[in-house]
Amino acid sequence: MSDVPYKLASRISHPENTIVKVKDVEVGGKKIVVMAGPCAVESEAQLFAAAKAVKEAGASVLRASAYKPRSSPYSFQGLGEDGLKLIKKAGQEFGLVTETEVVDTRDVTLVAGYVDVLRVGARNMQNFALLKEVGKAGKPAILKNGIASTIEEFLLAAEYIMSEGNPNVILCYRGIKSFEPKIRFPLDAAAIPLLKELTHLPVIADPSHSTGKQSLVGPVSKAAISAGADGLMIEVHPRPGEAKSDKAQQLLPAQFSKFMEELGPVARAVGREL
């Protein structure tokens, strides 16, 4: 066994790439997997409009949050179980794999009953009790890096999930906090090939939360794919100006469709498919 502290996540102990399979979607293979949808579930009409748009444009996973951990306790916190019901319904209606964030150890079983993939957000990357419960849930997990975490801390967080018997972990790099206020959480493209060098787990990127701005999502997505990312997590809303969270970064359906068209040549240039 390697001498790195993240034994199960290490490429030294597991040289071959891990492909996480969720229904007919494979994350970590030749195909770039695009996960898209609104930041938060706000209503059935809003979620279904977004789901229809991302499906038609070529996304294979519906991303949406029913629980929203926010910096302010007075901000919109999500619809909870009502939101989970809508995510499940939208996934079935449009033939999309579903994922959502889980924020509390007490909700893991509940959330796992509604969606295909559990997501642990940046704020909870080192919530070790939550990581353990997600590891026990029997569902694939997406783990985002903390905004001030090191690569090793990120991989050790994945180790917590894997050590509970869940090998199906997808790492989501969403940038880190810096001194530059005009870019929300700058996405260091070098972190993607470094992660791919250190771990066998698939690595995706979240340009929406990284940039915090519609106009930057496309260019940073192309950079992430060029750097070796296995997929992207993109926020799409039918009316971003009315969104209850993250208005500035969510793409309109037409923008997302154009985004997907532009991403294809980039994926092919690095030997991948979209």
- Give the model confidence (pLDDT) of 143-161 as tens digits: 999 999 999 999 999 999 9
Find the mean pLDDT for residues 70-88. 90
CATH of the domain at 26: 3.20.20.70
Domain count, the chain: 1
Average confidence score pLDDT of the chain: 96
* Residue 64 forms part of a structural domain: yes
How many whole angstroms separate alpha carbon 125 and alpha carbon 151? 12
Residue 212 domain flag? yes
> Considering the domain boundaries, does residue 7 fall inside one?
no
The whole-number average pLDDT for the span 181-207 is 96
Mean per-residue pLDDT for 77-96?
96
Quote the pTM value: 0.96
Mean pLDDT of 90-110: 97
Q: Looking at residue 151, what is its pLDDT?
A: 97
Three-state helix/strand/coil letters over the chain: CCCCCCCCCECCCCCCCCCEEECCEEECCCECEEEEECCECCCHHHHHHHHHHHHHHCCCEEECECCCCCCCCCCCCCCCHHHHHHHHHHHHHHCCEEEEECCCHHHHHHHHCCCCEEEECHHHCCCHHHHHHHHHCCCCEEEECCCCCCHHHHHHHHHHHHCCCCCCEEEEECCCCCCCCCCCCCCCCCHHHHHHHHECCCEEECHHHHHCCHHHHHHHHHHHHHCCCCEEEEEECCCHHHCCCCHHHCECHHHHHHHHHHHHHHHHHCCCEC
pLDDT attached to residue 94: 98
Is 227 domain-assigned? yes
Residue 274 included in any domain = no
Tens of pLDDT along 234-253?
999 999 999 998 899 999 99
Q: Within 13 A of 102's CA, how many CA atoms are on the CB side? A: 32
Q: In this predicted structure, what is the pLDDT of residue 58?
A: 97
> Rounded to an integer, what distance in angstroms lies between the CA atom of residue 82 and that of residue 79?
6
Q: Tell me the pLDDT band of 76, cut-offs 50, 70 and 90.
A: confident
Q: How many CB atoms lie under 10 A from the CB of residue 147?
A: 17
Banded pLDDT at 1 (limits 50, 70, 90): very low
Can you give the residue range of the structural domain that contains 24?
Answer: 20-266
Query: Taking phi first (over 0 means left), then psi (-120 to 50 degrees means alpha), and beta for anything else, what does residue 246 get?
Result: left
Amino acid 71: pLDDT: 79
Q: Provide the pLDDT for residue 159.
A: 98
Q: Residue 151: which of 192, 110, 102, 112 has the closest Cα?
A: 192
| Residue 101 belongs to a domain | yes
Report whether pLDDT(73) > 90: no
Give the C-alpha separation, 261 to 56, whole Å: 12
Among the listed ranges 46-55, 109-118, 174-183, 203-212, which one has the minimum average pLDDT value? Answer: 174-183
Task: State residue 2's pLDDT score.
Answer: 58
Establish if 257 belongs to a structural domain.
Answer: yes
What does the pLDDT average to over 120-140?
A: 97
Residue 15 placed within a domain:
no
User: Span 110-118, mean pLDDT?
Assistant: 98
How far apart (Å, rounded) are the C-alpha atoms in residues 248 and 211?
A: 10
